[in-house]
């Protein structure tokens, strides 16, 4: 059954991205937008059950609303990990049915699960039974030769029987044989109209669109057809875009933070993390795109790239990088 406590407003979300959307990244994104829902990198059930859950699950309270994305296909293990996420304070758990990496395919994780909608439905049902927070699913249009609209419709129809009512759809199919994960983000064509059709066919479901979206105006166009938009690479490589989100989609009248103010707002966090043994470059790498397409932006990026990894590097690296950007 569906959680009755789903109060998340997912009009705008930042996609789960491996090696990118870690807790340092999410803390920075939260400075830029107070309302966007943020997703973790995918964490496998095996990592939580057999390794150190604290390492994978800890986050900063400032990150809320924040969702954990899980990878797995064993319903009981997924339910256990979903309960862990609730206990840690996550606002949502999302099941990954979209990752095309061959590493995860071998463990029945990610996009290959699109060939097993009944299993996906069973997993989501068990996950929801374990918790009171919302459980959602992120998937592709299809995989390999399973790539007709009819098969997508059938997948959604089967999976929604679990009680899951939030579907985030990456508007491309995944080609599991022959394309790398990176190529799978670019080569299969985008078919936004299929996602719109799913919303028309299942008006009671919350349908979100993902894939190739680059601007606030494009988001607004999609929102005429679906319930929410999810941005991935553009939100990461051009993060200042997030500073427009609260006014554009959440009727928040607070004035937009400036790029330099956003950087300065990171300083106390960076100092705190450095005192706990974090490496400066692990934090600053998420800020490299802050001055994307701005005067001084290249110099800002270069200074951080050349200096943040040095032993003993301090917040002075960020302060000096900022001096390279004109006011």
Tell the residue number behind the tokens 């028309």, with chain if given: 200
**Helices 149-159 and 192-201 sit at what angle, rounded to 10 degrees?**
50
Tell the residue number behind the tokens 């989609």, with chain if given: 249
Identify the active-site residue in 99, 112, 123, 164: 99
Long-range contacts of 245-249, Cβ-Cβ distance < 8 Å, separation of 24 or more: 245/12, 245/32, 245/33, 245/35, 245/36, 245/216, 246/33, 246/34, 246/35, 246/36, 248/12, 248/216, 248/219, 248/220, 249/11, 249/12, 249/35, 249/219, 249/223
Known catalytic residue at 123:
no
Q: Which structure tokens are listed for 266?
A: 């990171």
Q: Residue 306 class from Cβ within 10 Å (0-12 exposed, 13-18 middle, 19+ buried)? A: exposed
Q: 3-class SS at 261?
A: helix
Q: What are phi and psi for residue 304, nearest 5 degrees?
A: -65, -45
Q: Which residues are catalytic?
A: 99
């Amino acid at each position: 059954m569906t959680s009755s406590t789903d109060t998340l407003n997912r009009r705008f979300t930042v996609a789960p991205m491996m090696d990118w959307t870690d807790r340092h990244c999410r803390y920075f994104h939260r400075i830029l937008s107070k309302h966007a829902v943020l997703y973790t990198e995918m964490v496998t059930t095996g990592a939580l059950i057999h390794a150190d859950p604290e390492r994978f699950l800890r986050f900063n309270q400032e990150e809320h609303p924040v969702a954990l994305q899980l990878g797995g296909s064993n319903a009981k293990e997924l339910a256990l990990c979903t309960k862990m996420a609730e206990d840690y304070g996550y606002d949502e758990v999302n099941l990954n049915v979209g990752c095309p990496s061959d590493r995860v395919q071998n463990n029945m994780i990610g996009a290959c699960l699109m060939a097993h909608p009944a299993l996906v439905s069973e997993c989501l049902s068990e996950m929801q039974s374990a918790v009171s927070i919302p459980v959602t699913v992120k998937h592709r249009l299809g995989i390999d030769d399973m790539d007709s609209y009819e098969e997508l419709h059938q997948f959604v129809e089967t999976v929604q029987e679990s009680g899951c009512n939030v579907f985030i759809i990456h508007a491309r199919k995944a080609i599991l044989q022959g394309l790398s994960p990176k190529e799978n983000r670019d080569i299969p064509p985008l078919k936004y109209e299929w996602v719109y059709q799913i919303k028309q066919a299942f008006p009671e479901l919350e349908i979100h669109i993902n894939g190739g979206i680059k601007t606030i105006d494009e988001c607004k166009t999609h929102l005429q057809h679906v319930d929410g938009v999810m941005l991935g690479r553009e939100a990461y490589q051009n993060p200042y875009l997030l500073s427009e989100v609260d006014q554009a989609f959440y009727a928040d009248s607070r004035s937009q933070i400036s790029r330099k103010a956003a950087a300065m707002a990171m300083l106390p966090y960076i100092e705190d993390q450095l005192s706990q043994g974090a490496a400066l470059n692990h934090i600053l790498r998420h800020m490299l795109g802050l001055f994307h397409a701005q005067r001084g932006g290249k110099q800002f990026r270069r200074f951080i790239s050349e200096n943040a990894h040095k032993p003993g590097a301090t917040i002075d690296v960020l302060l000096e990088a900022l001096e390279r950007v004109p006011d």
